[in-house]
Amino acid sequence: MPEGFSLGKLDDFGLHTEHIIDDPQSTEPSNAGVRVADFIRKVLPLATSVQGNDVMLTMGGDFDWNNGAAQQR
């Protein structure tokens, strides 16, 4: 994953990711548009370095997950 996007990584590893907020009933302001634009900006350089239309994004290293089975449901 691009830096700043750690899908499901746990905070006890010291990896803090800003959550994507897109709930109209949330007390926090929506940041979905900004987060999507940031994700695309960070992934585009990867897309130019591969052949074809597919870009593979890894989900982290071996020690990023505290409970892999629970994270992969």
Domains of the chain, residue spans? 11-62
Q: What is the pLDDT along the chain (73 residues), one digit of tens a residue?
A: 677 776 655 544 555 677 788 999 999 999 999 999 998 998 898 888 888 888 888 766 655 556 666 656 5
d(CA 28, CA 31) in angstroms, rounded, equals 9
Which residue matches tokens 């089975």? 69
The structure's pTM equals 0.64
Q: How far is CA 41 from CA 17, 21, 29, 62, 67, in A?
A: 17, 19, 22, 26, 30
Q: Are 9 and 15 in contact (CB under 8 A)?
A: yes
- The number of residues making up the chain comes to 73
